[in-house]
Structure 1
Amino acid sequence: MPVIYLTDQGAMAHKKGERLIVEKKSDVILDMPLIHVEQLVVMGNVQLSAALISQLLVQEVDVAFFSSYGKYRGRLTPPALGFAQLRYRQYQVLGNPQTALPIAKQAIQAKLANQRRTLGRLAAAGGSKVQAAAQRATQTMQGIESQVSAAKDLDSLRGYEGSGAAAYFGGLKDLLPPSWGFNGRQYRPPPDAVNAALSFGYALLQSAALGMVNLVGLDPYLGFFHTIDYNRPSLALDLMEEFRPVVVDAIVAPLFLQNRFSAQDFRRESGATPGVYLVEGGRRRLIEAHEKQMATPVFYPRKKETTALRRIIEEQARHLANVVLGEAASYQGYEA
């Protein structure tokens, strides 16, 4: 089990010998060797002992912190040692539109292709009306894809990405039961259950992408497509773009289509954190689906091999590092 999710509110995680122990009200709810922990995801009110934190740093285990509703808070990572040359080259590539723009184009080209294919796969099980709506959306997206390579700058590229997203989520809207009230992608805050589930899933994916960016030594806050802003891991957001449809959308939509979510899995909040959010049962169901999807072996065109989606994200991060260092001629986005 490479990724451990700590979601039980009030739990305490500590180190006992070479084992990770998680307890709640004197009951042991997890006992496993620390050597098997690749990443720790802490959600909400879960405490970590100082000894455990120290050991996780020694083992270079990535630890990500989220609110109980899935909002990313930050992470505990070991020092980025030995990556000065890579990060220096990253700054140079970022500052040169002739080298930065092609990387961003490839990422968005792959995202649009994956959105189009995901929508087609989801619609295949629906009726003729659903399939016709999905076909209209995918045709629109195909036209936008053909324009991406001609984008002159990042602003025009972001415009194409936004137009593609509007067509894609419009098509997704036609697939999902109207009773869930999904009218397109909205997330600040999520106004309905579908957006709540998408936001939670994207947060999990962002955590994975950020972990991989840190692993290979790139600066996660300096991206090629997303604007640079305070506390925004722009490069991790860049990396996750091509994986949003195949990791998150491909599991969230079926959870609604197969009635695996109920109204009790969501809660509407007001006050400081307004919006609709997943609660414990829904979170667990989505986390299970997410981990299953990330472990699914799929074909990886760049290396012409079959491997887990989680490893493909890592390979794409390493591929990007090779492009930045000049060891690969150009970036090739992942298309499922």
Structure 2
Amino acid sequence: MRRQLNTLYVTTEGAWLHKDGANIVMEVEGETRARLPVHMLESLVCFGRVLVSPPLLGYCAEQGITTCFLTPNGKFLARVEGPVSGNVLLRREQYRRTDDLAGCAAIVRNMLQGKIHNQRAVLGRGLRDHSDKLAPDDEAALTHAHKRLGRIADKLPDTPSVETLRGLEGEAAQAYFGVFDHLIRVRDPALRFGGRSRRPPRDAFNALLSFLYTLVTHDCRSALEGVGLDPAVGFLHRDRPGRPSLALDLLEEFRPLMADRLALSLVNLRQVSERDFQTMDNGAVLLREESRKLVLTAYQERKREDLRHVFLEEKAPIGLFPFIQAQLLARHLRGDLDAYPPFLWK
């Protein structure tokens, strides 16, 4: 089993990162704020105006550590990495499979099976854990959506077309996010969820979701590259210049557990509140810098939690699950597995 390494998130505006021996040193206004051994890291993620010295960038690339640059609100800007050690035969099979309508549909079908199963798990846990606190209308809406997702999942095995499968995914998303607000237990109007909005997010909860989705996408991309797959060529998401389509495919299975559920916990436990967000002139709502640090800490803690992997029948830290799924997808493409086994949250 692969050892889980840390991701270093740097959110301090004006930070200067440089190399000192085998350590990363962070300075702010000429004062050393942090020092971390490079061997403990898997990736380095910089938010906003963070400067990285060329020697450190080169050293990280040599050590297989990816450096990623994002805007303050988490939009991808650039990525610096060393030589990609992808298996050319595996990637050629990946490209062939995306052009094979039946083979592509088989993978998409299983990915969506995992996504919808995990969406139902989020709603099911909300019904189970807080049934005594739910209003009758909330309980009825959640129960209806839970059953509707089940009916959509039942259609997947008999759906041969990728386009039709994408339509079912959209229907599932509508049912899921249509009742998501019923899972929020705080009364603050600023933290309610009125529907999914992005590019830019128009309310606090969407800003939180978008930020977490960015973090999970980064981990999925790193996992795919780690097993030799091309993160830009997907099965569910269409190819588009600059878009990591396969990483977005893998993200779908992990959204409910690693992002949606975590966002609900942060809001319902009042770890984030209205004051953690700011509204820009264009109407976009963003997390404040200190609040990003809080969410990053919660995300790292969630990744350290152990969970049983249904297919492997063994426990592992949640942070390793994207890598496990990337390995399983690679094994399927190589012909070692008859089908791609999706991640199912139990």
Aligned-pair Cα RMSD in Å = 1.4
Instruction: Give 2:167's match in structure 1, choosing from 159, 163, 170.
Output: 159
Q: Tell me if 1:286 matches 2:291.
A: no
Matches within 5 A, 1:157-306: 157-176=165-184, 177=186, 179=189, 180-271=191-282, 274-306=283-315
Does structure 1 conserve the Cα–Cα contact (< 8 Å) formed by 2:86 and 2:229? no
**What is the TM-score when the length of structure 2 is the normalising length?**
0.93
Per-residue deviation, residues 25-82 of structure 1 (Å, max 9, x unmatched):
1222211211111111111111111110111011001222110111122311222235
Instruction: Give 1:320's match in structure 2, choosing from 311, 324, 329.
Output: 329
Aligned residue-pair number: 334
Per-residue deviation, residues 190-230 of structure 1 (Å, max 9, x unmatched):
11000000000000000110111111111111101011112
How far, CA to CA, are the matches of 1:163 and 1:82 in structure 2? 35
Which deviates further from its counterpart, 24-33 or 298-307? 24-33
**What is the TM-score when the length of structure 1 is the normalising length?**
0.96
Amino acid at match of 1:327: D
Give the SS at the match of 1:231: coil
Which deviates further from its counterpart, 260-269 or 299-308? 260-269
How far, CA to CA, are the matches of 1:251 and 1:81 in structure 2? 33
Q: Tell me if 1:34 matches 2:38.
A: yes
The percentage of counterpart residues that share the same residue type is 31
Matches within 5 A, 1:15-94: 15-94=19-98
How far, CA to CA, are the matches of 2:271 and 2:23 in structure 1? 34
Matches within 5 A, 1:138-149: 138-149=146-157
Amino acid at match of 1:28: T
Give the SS at the match of 2:158: coil
How far, CA to CA, are the matches of 1:147 and 1:224 in structure 2? 19
Deviation at 1:132, TM superposition (A): 3.1
Give the SS at the match of 2:68: strand
How far, CA to CA, are the matches of 2:293 and 2:239 in structure 1? 33
Amino acid at match of 2:207: A
How far, CA to CA, are the matches of 1:189 and 1:90 in structure 2? 32
How far, CA to CA, are the matches of 1:270 and 1:323 in structure 2? 48
Deviation at 1:325, TM superposition (A): 1.6
Per-residue deviation, residues 130-187 of structure 1 (Å, max 9, x unmatched):
3333212101111111111221211111111111111111221122246124211111
How far, CA to CA, are the matches of 2:81 and 2:159 in structure 1? 36
Give the SS at the match of 2:201: coil
How far, CA to CA, are the matches of 1:84 and 1:38 in structure 2? 23
Does structure 1 conserve the Cα–Cα contact (< 8 Å) formed by 2:277 and 2:287? yes
Amino acid at match of 1:14: H
Give the SS at the match of 1:38: strand
CA 1:164–1:82: 2 relative to 1, 3 Å: closer
CA 1:26–1:326: 2 relative to 1, 3 Å: same
Q: Tell me if 1:308 matches 2:317.
A: yes
Which deviates further from its counterpart, 261-270 or 305-314? 261-270
Does structure 1 conserve the Cα–Cα contact (< 8 Å) formed by 2:238 and 2:245? yes
Deviation at 1:122, TM superposition (A): 2.8
How far, CA to CA, are the matches of 1:82 and 1:262 in structure 2? 43
Partner of residue 14, structure 2: 10
Q: Which runs of 5+ in 2 are unaligned?
A: none
Deviation at 1:188, TM superposition (A): 2.3
How far, CA to CA, are the matches of 2:329 and 2:49 in structure 1? 36
Q: Which runs of 5+ in 1 are unaligned?
A: none
Amino acid at match of 1:27: E
